[in-house]
Amino acid sequence: MVELFFDVTYLVQLTKAEFIGQGSGRTVYRHPYHQYLVIKLPRVRNKNWFGRLERKMRFLSRRFGAFKHSILEAEEYTAMIARNNEIPDFVPAYRGMIATNLGIGAAFEIVQQPDGTIAPNLRNYVKQQGMTPELRAAIDAFWDKVVRFRCVVSDPSLANILVQTDVDGGLHLWIVDGIGEQAFIPVSRMFDAVYRHTTKGMRQLFEDKLRKSLASKMSE
């Protein structure tokens, strides 16, 4: 059973041993005591004049600051549950905020392989395995779920999608970053036609990235 609470008097101690990786907005650690969780800490960027202007222009940046990526992810996860009355099985569950020695972070369920290792992202998986019928089926199933749950994908990077292998060798895709609408007026959430058009474009962008990655592997 997951027992989490926001207690600023107790700090989870994170070290280099728990470090998993980092993206443009967050650094990710494995929870040292709950191995089925990761903690995503906001990255502090250089404060140049353009960055300050961008933050002033964007509602989410003004309201949540460096936490906006985790807030977007948690909000989209919760919205999908509210819309469908069902837990999405392609986005890791949000488990709350946690105080650590490195600052406040957001906890999400981990995506791991049967042996307990972290599932590889799609970019690295394709470099190693290339395209297979099983992977293509998993990709199609993933995007079908995105549409069915009306998930707003804002960054379909291959690095944002993890490939999990089950005990029977089947593949399952999870998106761990790049979801949620960042626009001041959330038109994709408001209008079905806009959502379908935007999601179709994101799928096409994803397929373009995938083709480039496969072409790069074939040229090696």
How far apart are alpha carbons 161 and 165 in whole angstroms? 13
- The SS3 call for residue 48 is coil
Q: What's the predicted TM-score (pTM) here?
A: 0.85
CA distances from 173 to 84, 91, 144, 160 (A): 20, 9, 12, 10
Looking at 57-61, 82-86, 210-214, which range is the least confident one? 57-61
If you average pLDDT over residues 63-68, what whole number do you get? 70
Q: Which CATH class is domain 112-220?
A: mainly alpha
Residue 155 has pLDDT above 90, yes or no: yes
- Which CATH architecture fits 1-110? 2-Layer Sandwich (3.30)
What pLDDT is attached to residue 165? 96
Domain ranges of the chain: 1-110, 112-220
